[in-house]
């Protein structure tokens, strides 16, 4: 009986451990929504979810599977009050695109991966703009979307460093568990 409980605890701990990328991204999403107003609302916050989706699609899709990306997108939809399914769709498309280019990006230098994210962020911004304009049936101003993509590109090295640290821990701890 004790062994069964032990196995159960280990299993649960393992699941939480491997869900760390999802939990960390969700936490970042919630913190980004805190009413800090650091730049008086003139500079948009970076899209940490997109950076996370790109990073894990390239460096460890097993740690952030499609259902986790769907959860992140849906959480953002509920949290922002936007149309349900919008961000889930956008992030899944970005994840799919990044995943399909995984072989190309894997093993590149930091600058190469950064350039890759810049391309993905800009393509995602354009897709978001087209999808948003189609949904609301009017041309939305593209400026704020591109500004957010720009801030996300600038913030990517910092975000990637944190995730890289976590990835190293996750991959080496696999044997330990």
- Residues near another protein (CB under 8 A): 30-31, 33-38, 40-42, 44, 65-67, 69-70, 73-74, 78-86, 88-89, 92-93, 95-96, 99-100, 128, 132, 135-136, 138, 140-141, 143-145, 148
Nearest-approach distance from CB 22 to another protein, in angstroms: 14
We find the least distance from the C-beta atom of residue 113 to another protein, in angstroms, to be 21
For another protein, the closer CB: 19 or 99: 99
Q: How far is CA 127 from CA 120, 121, 170, in A?
A: 10, 10, 32
Least spacing, CB of residue 103 vs another protein, in Å: 11
Considering beta carbons, is residue 10 or 106 the nearer one to another protein? 106
- State the minimum distance, in angstroms, from the CB of residue 129 to another protein: 8
Taking the least distance from each CB to another protein, the nearer of 9 and 16 is 16
First to last CA, the chain: 21
Give the distance from CA 11 to its chain's centroid: 25
CA distances from 162 to 37, 38, 56, 96, 169 (A): 23, 22, 12, 23, 11
Q: Are 138 and 115 in contact (CB under 8 A)?
A: no
Quote the tokens at residue 25.
Answer: 């991204």
Residue number, 155 or 164, with CB nearest to another protein? 155
Choose between 65 and 157: whose C-beta lies nearer to another protein: 65
Give residues with Cβ within 8 angstroms of 87, minimum separation 6: 49, 72, 73, 74, 76, 77, 80
Assigned token pair, 68: 């986790």
Least separation, in Å, of the C-beta of 25 and another protein? Answer: 15
The span from the CA of 170 to the CA of 59, in Å, is 12
């Amino acid at each position: 009986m004790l062994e069964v409980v032990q196995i159960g605890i280990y299993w649960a701990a393992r699941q939480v451990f491997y869900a760390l990328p999802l939990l960390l991204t969700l936490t970042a999403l919630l913190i980004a929504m805190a009413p800090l107003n650091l730049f008086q609302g003139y500079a948009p916050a970076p899209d940490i979810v997109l950076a996370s989706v790109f990073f894990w699609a390239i460096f460890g899709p097993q740690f952030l599977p499609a259902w986790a990306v769907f959860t992140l997108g849906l959480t953002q939809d509920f949290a922002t009050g936007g149309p349900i399914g919008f961000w889930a769709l956008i992030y899944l498309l970005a994840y799919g695109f990044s995943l399909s280019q995984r072989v190309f990006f894997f093993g590149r230098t930091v600058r190469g991966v950064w350039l890759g994210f810049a391309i993905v962020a800009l393509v995602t911004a354009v897709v978001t703009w087209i999808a948003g304009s189609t949904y609301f049936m009017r041309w939305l101003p593209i400026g704020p979307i591109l500004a957010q993509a720009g801030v996300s590109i600038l913030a990517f090295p910092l975000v990637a460093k944190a995730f890289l640290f976590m990835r190293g821990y996750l991959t080496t701890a696999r044997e330990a568990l």
